Amino acid sequence: MLSESGVRYECRIKGKFRLDDIKNTNPVAVGDQVEIETEADSIDANIIAIAPRRNYIIRRSINLSRQTHILAANMDRAFLIVTLAMPRTSLGFIDRFLITAEAYSIPVDIIFNKADLYDTEMLEKVQALQTLYEGLGYPCHILSALTEGAEITRLRTRLKGNVNLFSGHSGTGKSTLINMLDPALKLRTGGLSEAHDKGVHTTTFAEMFELSGGGFVIDSPGIKELGIVDIEKHELSHFFPEMRRLLNKCKFNNCLHLSEPKCAVREAVEKGEIAMSRYDSYLGIMSGEELEKEYE
């Protein structure tokens, strides 16, 4: 833990902590602001209280489906790193991350990494996705974490002075990109499993690093699954910006946008004003199929 005076302490949890009665596998998360009890002439300390979180990214735990895991807390912006291949990031995964961030008012940038591997077809696809998501208010970056360029420079500017979360599947290049943005950090990086084109975990727990240009970056472990937590079905459409704009135009105030008559959302889908991929993500979550398997 980094104190306000710049001293780093090795901390232990004292007592039990809960967050809004949700059972978490990690009651203290990276990014938390805590109160500590120090020991004389030692860098050891006890965490005795956690300050209220202004936001957090939370997901359902992989092996303990009734429990949840907080990826990070108190961030100014999240950066979702995705790849179209090696490994492939599904649109459903992207949308579930965006929904979770929307629920806690966390701005998100989408980074399409490994542009050096794109052929003409893949480039056209990622440009179409850029148009889709930027139209919804999510800034997008197409880049290669291996090459210095204009987008890398742009990202450094966006990181400066903020607490930033980097998240995504294993193998999408999170740590490599952070090293490009701030070479002084020298984070450990990995590759892909040749048998499955899936990421090899090199970041095993979330960790926050201070950036030499100002601000902090949180490098998080690769996410295999991202289950939506604590969002009721009647609230879900509020976290899709393109649906939120139409909610007062549906015939029924409690419209779920499934089969109700005179539903403005479904009419927009039929007209192509809402992307079918986004509506499919909405339907999947509504039907309880939000836990998409790894790289499905």
What is the percentage of the chain residues whose pLDDT exceeds 70? 84
Q: What is the pLDDT confidence band of residue 15, given thresholds at 50, 70 and 90?
A: low
Q: What is the pLDDT confidence band of residue 17, given thresholds at 50, 70 and 90?
A: low
Most confident of 5-9, 150-154, 229-233: 150-154
Nearest one of 260, 215, 243, 221 to 102, comparing CA atoms: 243
pLDDT at 34: 84
Strand 216-219 with 207-210, pairing: antiparallel
Distance CA 273, CA 126 (A): 19
Q: What is the pLDDT confidence band of residue 13, given thresholds at 50, 70 and 90?
A: confident
Q: Is residue 74 a contact partner of residue 32, using CB atoms and an 8 Å limit?
A: yes
- Check whether 290 has a pLDDT greater than 70: no
In this predicted model, which residue has the larger pLDDT, 202 or 255? 255
Q: Which two tokens stand for residue 27?
A: 């009651």
Q: Which two tokens stand for residue 50?
A: 């956690």
Q: What is the pLDDT confidence band of residue 291, given thresholds at 50, 70 and 90?
A: very low
Alpha helix stretches (DSSP H) within 83-207: 91-103, 120-135, 150-159, 174-181
| Model confidence pLDDT, tens digit, residues 104-138 | 999 999 999 999 999 999 999 999 999 999 999 99
Residue tagged 């979550």 (tokens): 285
Sheet order of strands, 10-13 included: 10-13, 44-50, 34-38
Question: Hey, is 126 helix, strand or coil?
Answer: helix
Beta strands, E only, the chain: 10-13, 34-38, 44-50, 56-60, 68-73, 77-82, 108-112, 140-142, 163-167, 192-193, 198-199, 207-210, 216-219
The secondary structure of residue 172, as a DSSP letter, is S
| Model confidence pLDDT, tens digit, residues 18-39 | 544 556 667 788 988 888 888 7
State the chain's mean pLDDT as an integer.
85
Q: What is the pLDDT confidence band of residue 86, given thresholds at 50, 70 and 90?
A: confident
Single pTM value for the model: 0.85
pLDDT at 190: 57
pLDDT at 283: 95
Nearest one of 283, 284, 287, 250 to 265, comparing CA atoms: 250
Q: How far is CA 58 from the centre of its chain?
A: 9
Quickly name the fold that domain 56-219 has.
Rossmann fold (3.40.50)
- Check whether 292 has a pLDDT greater than 60: no
- Check whether 12 has a pLDDT greater than 80: no
How many CB atoms are located within 10 Å of the residue 37 CB? 12
Q: Which two tokens stand for residue 180?
A: 């490009």
pLDDT at 153: 95
Strand 140-142 with 108-112, pairing: parallel
For the chain, the domains span 10-50, 56-219, 233-286
User: Which of 55-69, 87-101, 149-163, 254-268 is the least confident region?
Assistant: 55-69
Q: Which two tokens stand for residue 166?
A: 């980097």
Q: How far is CA 166 from the centre of its chain?
A: 7
Nearest one of 177, 77, 84 to 129, comparing CA atoms: 84
Q: Which two tokens stand for residue 234?
A: 């009647």
pLDDT at 289: 65
pLDDT at 194: 41
In Å, how far are 75, 86, 165, 219, 247 from 28, measured between CA atoms?
15, 33, 16, 16, 36
Quickly name the fold that domain 233-286 has.
Ribonucleotide Reductase Protein R1; domain 1 (1.10.40)
pLDDT at 195: 39
Q: What is the pLDDT confidence band of residue 61, given thresholds at 50, 70 and 90?
A: low
Q: Is residue 126 a contact partner of residue 84, using CB atoms and an 8 Å limit?
A: yes
